[in-house]
Amino acid sequence: MISTDSVTTTNTTFKEPGGTTTRGRILVAKPGLDGHDRGARLVALVLRDAGFEVIYTGIRQTPATIASAAVQEDVDVVGLSILSGAHLSLSKKVLEALKEAGGGDIPVVVGGLIHPPDVPVLMEMGVAAVFPSGTRLDEVVRGIGEACTGRRL
């Protein structure tokens, strides 16, 4: 078994309709054609270990499918994993699709091979947090926890 002891946890917890306690519902998605999903699966596994409810879409999702899944599943955060270099245009499309699907208030975070100069561009676009490859797992967990809190407050 993998130890999760080292994951820094915050005290944000939510009561689900069913009565179970979760730190938040996350949709982990891979938009675009790229199939390198090690990062997406890593984050999904670690978030689950850290007490989040994780829905992983699998690879090759269109922005429209991601948006409708996010709204349908009533998630607190959408996490995009992008390694193909197309993060600017793909993130923009997902943000737009979310607005169209009525989920414009759902925070979007982006992780993957993100060149440092692109981080402020993504933030400007409306992305809530960026986790370039090399970000520590506990930072990802904390950042996503914060994004969840932001929405529920």
Radius of gyration of the chain from its Cα atoms, rounded to whole angstroms? 14
Query: Contact between 151 and other proteins (CB under 8 A)?
Result: no
Residue 15 β-bridge partners: 21
Span interacting with other proteins, options 15-23, 101-109, 133-141, 144-152, rule CB under 8 A: 133-141
Q: How far apart are CA 137 and CA 2, in angstroms?
A: 14
CB 153 → other proteins: shortest distance, Å? 30
CB 108 → other proteins: shortest distance, Å? 18
Span interacting with other proteins, options 12-20, 42-50, 67-75, 122-130, rule CB under 8 A: 42-50
Query: Contact between 120 and other proteins (CB under 8 A)?
Result: no
Expressed in percent and rounded to 5, the helix, strand and coil fractions of the chain are 40, 20, 40
Number of residues that bind other proteins (CB under 8 A): 36
| Cα three-residue angle 66-58-40, rounded to 5 degrees | 95
> What's the gap between Cα 15 and its chain centre?
20
Span interacting with other proteins, options 16-24, 71-79, 102-110, 113-121, rule CB under 8 A: 113-121
For residue 121, how many C-alpha atoms fall within 13 Å in the half-sphere facing its CB? 11
Binders in 8-27 for other proteins, by CB under 8 A: none
Q: How far apart are CA 61 and CA 141, in angstroms?
A: 23
Q: Which is nearer to other proteins, 48 or 99 (CB)?
A: 48
Residues near other proteins (CB under 8 A) are 1-3, 6, 32-38, 41-42, 44-46, 49, 56, 58-60, 62, 84-86, 89-90, 113, 115-117, 133-134, 136-138
